[in-house]
């Protein structure tokens, strides 16, 4: 997340008091409002309780206990994404290049320190640190996702192999009734595989930057619910939507998220007529909220973050079918639209997911649309 200069916390390390004071003054001019802190030795730096609490650390190379490169390496081992700038003496470009290879984010020769140079170097180091963090998060997420899919693919593939052999045996024996029954099982396993392929496709799309445009949430809900109308009617569910909202987002992604939330609200529900309520509201500060609540089985607060993880399950597959990836993909989709999603719930009472998205300045001609989205049985 990009911070303004007055939100930054910077640390400067140099044993030369005059040099340290000068650089700190220039930094204050370079990044007005930033919190500037300083220490005078490598020992003080390495004894800090939480060095990763700084947005950037600027270290002088020529320190008495450890040189700046050794300090940077020690910090990098514990805090791989911490932005670190090495301050070198004049003519130390070769040394600075080695420092960057060893993990320093950027460097600046003392002879070239200025307001503009400090701004450019520190800003660049912070950007590099943020990119490294995002790349590591994406790699971890991809590894987890790949493991989850491999795990989920195994069962239907094994079933197809097993039932294919049984179909051959039943056909050879002339048992047409058994062949038909086994073919139904095969069809079910193939449908599960098809669903997993859809999940893979959705995940791939989410790794691309989506087009962000004004989205009429009312209209998007209409389309999303019409796509799952058969499931809603089959479960004798009621889906009610209230309010009006336009956000800045992606219609396709938002539609997928709404579908997933509504399906979850109906699926994890023991009532004979599940109820899902979608409430739209515009909040101060240029944000809109989409609240999706249900009267389902609910869950304990310790699972509020857990349910968004890949493969997260609170129930067995026999109790409730699913890939365990729906909420993971929903959060990824909301994040891709520059939004957030949170969860609250109580066992036996129901669950509420709240999506926060930036609002669009372009408003549509919207009417109160409760009646448009009330499905039968109300």
Three-state secondary structure call for residue 60: strand
CATH no. for residue 101? Answer: 3.40.50.2300
In this predicted structure, what is the pLDDT of residue 363?
A: 38
Q: Identify the domain boundary among 95, 120, 135.
A: 135
Number of domains in the chain: 2
Q: Do 368 and 229 sit in the same domain of this protein?
A: yes
d(CA 369, CA 223): 14
In this predicted structure, what is the pLDDT of residue 318?
A: 55
Q: Identify the domain boundary among 71, 100, 135.
A: 135
Structural domain of 378: 210-378
Q: Do 374 and 239 sit in the same domain of this protein?
A: yes
In this predicted structure, what is the pLDDT of residue 152?
A: 66
3-state class percentages of the chain: helix first, strand second, coil last, to nearest 5:
50, 20, 30
Looking at the domain assignment, is residue 160 inside a domain?
A: no
In this predicted structure, what is the pLDDT of residue 195?
A: 65
In this predicted structure, what is the pLDDT of residue 377?
A: 33
Q: Do 246 and 343 sit in the same domain of this protein?
A: yes
d(CA 51, CA 27): 19
- Residues of the chain short of pLDDT 70, as ranges, are 1, 90-93, 96, 148, 151-152, 155, 192, 195-196, 198-208, 310-324, 360-378
Looking at the domain assignment, is residue 145 inside a domain?
A: no
Looking at the domain assignment, is residue 195 inside a domain?
A: no
Whether the full predicted model's pTM is greater than 0.75, yes or no, is: no
Looking at the domain assignment, is residue 187 inside a domain?
A: no
Q: Do 222 and 89 sit in the same domain of this protein?
A: no
Helices (H), the chain: 17-30, 42-46, 68-78, 93-101, 115-172, 176-206, 217-227, 229-234, 251-267, 326-336, 370-373
In this predicted structure, what is the pLDDT of residue 315?
A: 53
CATH no. for residue 280? Answer: 3.30.565.10
Q: Do 233 and 365 sit in the same domain of this protein?
A: yes
Q: Do 233 and 114 sit in the same domain of this protein?
A: no
Three-state secondary structure call for residue 29: helix
Q: Identify the domain boundary among 105, 135, 165.
A: 135
Looking at the domain assignment, is residue 276 inside a domain?
A: yes
In this predicted structure, what is the pLDDT of residue 275?
A: 92
How does pLDDT run across 137-149, given as a tens digit for each residue?
777 777 777 776 7
Phi-psi region of 174 (alpha: psi -120 to 50; beta: other; left: phi over 0): left
How does pLDDT run across 293-349, given as a tens digit for each residue?
999 888 888 877 777 776 666 654 555 565 567 788 888 889 889 999 999 998 988
Looking at the domain assignment, is residue 185 inside a domain?
A: no
Element (H, E) at 340: strand 340-346
Looking at the domain assignment, is residue 284 inside a domain?
A: yes
Looking at the domain assignment, is residue 163 inside a domain?
A: no
Q: Do 128 and 224 sit in the same domain of this protein?
A: no
In this predicted structure, what is the pLDDT of residue 369?
A: 37
How many angstroms from the chain centroid is the CA of residue 191?
28
Q: Do 228 and 341 sit in the same domain of this protein?
A: yes
């Amino acid at each position: 997340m990009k911070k303004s200069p007055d939100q930054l916390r910077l640390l400067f390390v140099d044993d030369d008091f005059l040099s340290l004071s000068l650089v700190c003054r220039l930094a204050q001019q370079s990044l007005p409002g930033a919190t500037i802190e300083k220490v005078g030795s490598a020992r003080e730096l390495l004894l800090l309780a939480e060095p990763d609490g700084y947005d950037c650390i600027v270290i002088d190379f020529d320190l008495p206990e450890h040189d700046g490169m050794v300090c940077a390496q020690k910090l990098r081992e514990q805090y791989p994404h911490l932005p670190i700038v090495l301050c070198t003496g004049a003519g130390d470009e070769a040394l600075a290049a080695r420092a960057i290879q060893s993990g320093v984010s950027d460097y600046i020769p003392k002879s070239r320190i200025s307001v503009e140079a400090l701004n450019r170097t520190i800003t660049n180091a912070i950007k590099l640190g943020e990119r490294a963090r995002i790349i590591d998060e994406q790699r971890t997420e991809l590894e987890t996702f790949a493991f989850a899919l491999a795990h989920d693919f195994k069962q239907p593939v094994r079933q197809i192999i097993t039932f294919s052999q049984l179909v051959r045996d039943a056909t050879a024996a002339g048992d047409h009734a058994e062949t038909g029954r086994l073919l139904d099982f095969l069809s079910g396993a193939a449908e599960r595989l098809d669903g997993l392929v859809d999940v893979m496709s959705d995940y791939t799309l989410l790794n691309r930057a989506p087009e962000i445009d004004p989205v009429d949430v009312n209209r998007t809900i209409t389309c999303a619910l019409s796509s799952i109308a058969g499931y809603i009617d089959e479960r004798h569910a009621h889906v009610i939507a209230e309010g009006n909202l336009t956000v800045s987002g992606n219609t396709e992604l938002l539609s997928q998220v709404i579908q997933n939330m509504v399906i979850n609200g109906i699926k994890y529900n023991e009532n004979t007529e599940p109820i899902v309520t979608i409430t739209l509201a515009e909040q101060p500060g240029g944000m809109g909220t989409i609240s999706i609540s249900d009267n389902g089985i609910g869950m304990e607060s310790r699972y509020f973050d857990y349910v968004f993880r890949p493969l997260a399950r609170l129930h067995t597959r026999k109790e409730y079918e699913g890939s365990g990836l729906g909420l993971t993909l929903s959060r990824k989709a909301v994040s891709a639209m520059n939004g957030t999603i949170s969860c609250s719930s109580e066992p036996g009472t129901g669950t509420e997911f709240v999506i926060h998205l930036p609002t669009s300045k372009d408003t549509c001609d919207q009417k109160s649309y409760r009646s448009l989205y009330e499905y039968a049985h109300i």
